[in-house]
Structure 1
């Protein structure tokens, strides 16, 4: 009998993700999202039974086996009736790839929309809201293109959203079903058009639904990956060296020392009391944090003078600094500035006590007495940034009040993606730039 595999404790504080969530998407409708596409969704069954509900211009999917994506049902809040349904999938490994035979590499930026149903009695705007609700998940995955298998003629959806045929993919002639083409459009154009259509139909999207994409983006593009970065892997495996930790503190100091000055600009640029109060509170929590780093270095036996007066940021650190500096110094937009701390504090806001135990054990193994006196900065940011009342959650909560449109959201997401990309590479660089100290002979 094989013994069960015991999973080691994680450095990270994680909350279980519910399989199914219900989110308010318009004043009258909810979006019910299932994060694992079902072969026979319960909400789809009564809708599919309605004559004319399945959009005939879309080719029905043959199989969802092995596909990754989400099911989205649009439900009338008052009656509980399912008005529309669709599934969005990673194009690679989906029926779209099986039918088009396109290589996986060509599909890594593509999402496939299928199983589209709209009730014949659904109010105007239902399809637009449905398309937005499904395709915004594709954007949170980092996808840039939406793909479809549509009837080989000028269908309403193709015409409305400017879908164009993939000329290198042969037409699909299916006996008894018809002729179909692989068609596609850029996600940014489709989401913009769907948002505009929904508003014109009297179904504007709720800001809370818009901002939920921020968390989905951070989770998929950042929180699910940062634990695999070189620094946290080295801490977890007990291989981080003293030289690498000193380099980490050196690079952290490069941007932390400017935090209060940038937050001060945000206070001055905030247009209302609530936003100004938020940044004042955040600023108070960051005062002199660079001095904590300097004390950590001193306890390690390092002279912090070089770090304070001579050292320069490495490439990913400078890229991260540029995002926050441009947001408030060039665009003068304190809300846009929130993209940077969401990325930076997304790390410390999700670390647990096990991380501190392991980093302190490592520091002690280097012969440092009272190792916790050399890890004050990392420990203090777990306290400041974590929890429901920490900086990270506070920034996320605030966004729902200021990102009110798809256009505003898109601008924020663009800077957020730059920020999280830079922060991921920062935590890699803290070890990879000075990997020689942990290298072993072959």
Structure 2
């Protein structure tokens, strides 16, 4: 959430603008409308102005804009039934009221500005809380924070919200006494998803899997644009030795791709899954040979890479995620965390990236530099966006990750793979930084 966004004019990345306001089918009868920038006067809140949930202390301001507005809407009538805002807790009214240090709130999301229509159908508040708090989970937050009345309220009781023992009671003239309360996100998301289902509003699988893309966007696609390999290419400072190291590390896991996908074919229980992984396997055959040819064009003997070299720690982390998915859990769907992370990055590379990389290679005195960059250029064609191959994976997952428990299982391993991928692209330069180190100016 704090990573610097790459400029839209950057020639390295082909990015697709994400709409600020999106609508998802959350249940058979309810839609969720998300505004990715909290608004001072949201239009969907106008009809709920008299329905503020008395349990919650509404914020005095929304100067802190790191968060989202979430509304639950009746699909048939288009009427807003519930509304809330979820914000990164640091810098908000929650911090002001509690006087907690920003460092104590970096893993917390503030759930506030809560409105629920008195005649909303059963399960509406649960859908609202789930939709808002899963957003916080995609940011990497672990706990939810609330400012609530200093009573044993129905919401606090139902979800086991715990008062923060070290924070004094908040007395607000004209409004009453309030307490800072909290609970773990994993517990809240489980409870709200179960409550929604029991109320006849089970969450749609297609709604659940949208969190996968949001998680990758926040945990990988945004911060990786600042990874040292890509900033070095952009600045033209990437050295031959660093590039060779990058190709070496890429080879060490790419060469296992077809073997892992072969296991996925074997463990797939349905024709649909087997067909998917057979197609994926066919597109990955001998990709490591492309890397070997890139190395040969650079004048390197690939024998060391093929027979002796070992993965660095980030590569091993990424490899462990995919190997455990199919080797231990024997779950081909879990293995999709690997291509979603790895191919998601290379799929966002733009032709402008190749132009800059080839310029770096040419600066080392290499003739026909494009013959040394064929592996990365071959992945430019991969669609890292929200349609095509990417959407095909999400559609497949939506058929199988049909509840919160299965989704969370996938997300935890996805974050391991995404973190490994991010660290990989940093390590390709950082591990061998000496090649670009300079003594201080005299």
Q: Shorter chain as normaliser: what TM range? A: over 0.9
Q: CA deviation at 1:440?
A: 1.4
The answer (yes or no) to whether the contact 1:345–1:392 under 8 Å persists in 2 is no
How far, CA to CA, are the matches of 1:178 and 1:102 in structure 2?
21
Matched residue SS, 1:333: coil
How far, CA to CA, are the matches of 2:385 and 2:20 in structure 1?
22
Matched residue SS, 1:75: strand
CA deviations 1:255-290 (Å, max 9, x no partner) are 000000000000111111111111111101110001
Pairs aligned (count): 434
Matched residue SS, 2:177: strand
User: For the aligned residues, what is the CA RMSD?
Assistant: 1.3
The aligned counterpart of 1:10 is 11
The aligned counterpart of 1:3 is none
* Residue among 274, 280, 289 paired with 2:287: 289
How far, CA to CA, are the matches of 1:82 and 1:216 in structure 2?
24
How far, CA to CA, are the matches of 1:428 and 1:396 in structure 2?
27
CA deviations 1:301-348 (Å, max 9, x no partner) are 000000000000001101110000000010000001101111111111
* TM-score normalised by L of structure 2: 0.96
The answer (yes or no) to whether the contact 2:32–2:72 under 8 Å persists in 1 is yes
The aligned counterpart of 2:326 is 328
The answer (yes or no) to whether the contact 2:362–2:369 under 8 Å persists in 1 is yes
CA deviations 1:115-148 (Å, max 9, x no partner) are 1111011111111011001100000000000000
The aligned counterpart of 2:233 is 235
The answer (yes or no) to whether the contact 2:206–2:395 under 8 Å persists in 1 is no
The aligned counterpart of 1:31 is 32
How far, CA to CA, are the matches of 2:10 and 2:209 in structure 1?
31
Q: Structure 1, unaligned stretches of length 5 or more? A: 1-5
How far, CA to CA, are the matches of 1:387 and 1:148 in structure 2?
35
The aligned counterpart of 1:429 is 427
CA change 1:149–1:282 in 2 (3 A) is: same
Q: Structure 2, unaligned stretches of length 5 or more? A: 1-6
Q: CA deviation at 1:385?
A: 4.9
How far, CA to CA, are the matches of 1:190 and 1:65 in structure 2?
27
The answer (yes or no) to whether the contact 2:44–2:80 under 8 Å persists in 1 is yes
CA deviations 1:406-440 (Å, max 9, x no partner) are 00000000000000000100000000010111111
The aligned counterpart of 1:406 is 404
How far, CA to CA, are the matches of 1:261 and 1:140 in structure 2?
31
Q: CA deviation at 1:8?
A: 4.9
CA change 1:239–1:268 in 2 (3 A) is: same
CA change 1:228–1:410 in 2 (3 A) is: same
The aligned counterpart of 1:202 is 200
How far, CA to CA, are the matches of 1:10 and 1:66 in structure 2?
31
The answer (yes or no) to whether the contact 1:149–1:181 under 8 Å persists in 2 is yes
Q: CA deviation at 1:67?
A: 3.0
Map 1:43-442 onto structure 2 (within 5 A).
Answer: 43-49=44-50, 53-386=51-384, 391-442=389-440
CA deviations 1:58-108 (Å, max 9, x no partner) are 011110013311001100000111111100000001110111110000000
Matched residue SS, 1:71: strand
The answer (yes or no) to whether the contact 2:16–2:385 under 8 Å persists in 1 is no
The answer (yes or no) to whether the contact 2:343–2:382 under 8 Å persists in 1 is no
CA deviations 1:373-394 (Å, max 9, x no partner) are 1001001122245466764443
The aligned counterpart of 2:3 is none
